[in-house]
Amino acid sequence: MTRRALIIVDVQPTFCEGGELGVDGGNAVAERIAAYVAAHRDRYALVATTQDWHVDPGTHFSDTPDFVDTWPPHGIAESKNALLHPALSAVNADVTIKKGRFTAGYSGFEGVDEHDVLLADILRQNAIEALDVVGIAESHCVKHTALDGVDEGWAVRVLTDLTVPVSAELGEVAEVEMATAGVELVESAALESAE
């Protein structure tokens, strides 16, 4: 059986409705991810969460953001909205990755655990062979994490019903980019017959 990891990307209040960079559907995705993990934790040799955890990310923050390269302050380290979404309280991740302390940090592969170990090194130490990626937002940090996973040599799936883009248009662009790079896009329900 394939040793598979689930990477839960940036499911934080800062990216959900009412947060600094709230995405429509963020809270609902958090609830769906929590339900999926509760039902299917045994599919995964390892579950990791990532969080934007910005201390001083330089030009990533702006008072006049362009929402492409610069953004309003969000995911501020130690703030309530940078914590994991309350819906994930029972997920009990094996690994907690924090990213973007001093950079933009779009990809979970830019982050480290509490011992400053990179996500890729943790996955290799645990003999992980394939990745499922879920979280917020599909068009940004989920996409970058999935693409970096492919670049690092893993087979990567994005579970499309367990993520949400910033906008439908950006989601479509991201899905084309991911599919072109070899990321498999699949709904979680379709995994029932595939496993």
Give catalytic residue positions.
Answer: 10, 99, 141
Q: Write out the H or E segment, with its range, that includes residue 176.
A: helix 168-181
Of 29, 45, 34, 11, which Cα lies nearest the Cα of 131? 45
Give the pair of three-digit tokens for residue 77.
């380290």
* Amino acid at site 69: D
By the 8 A CB rule, do 159 and 33 touch?
A: no
3-state secondary structure of 6: strand
Q: CA 176 to CA 190: how far, in whole Å?
A: 20
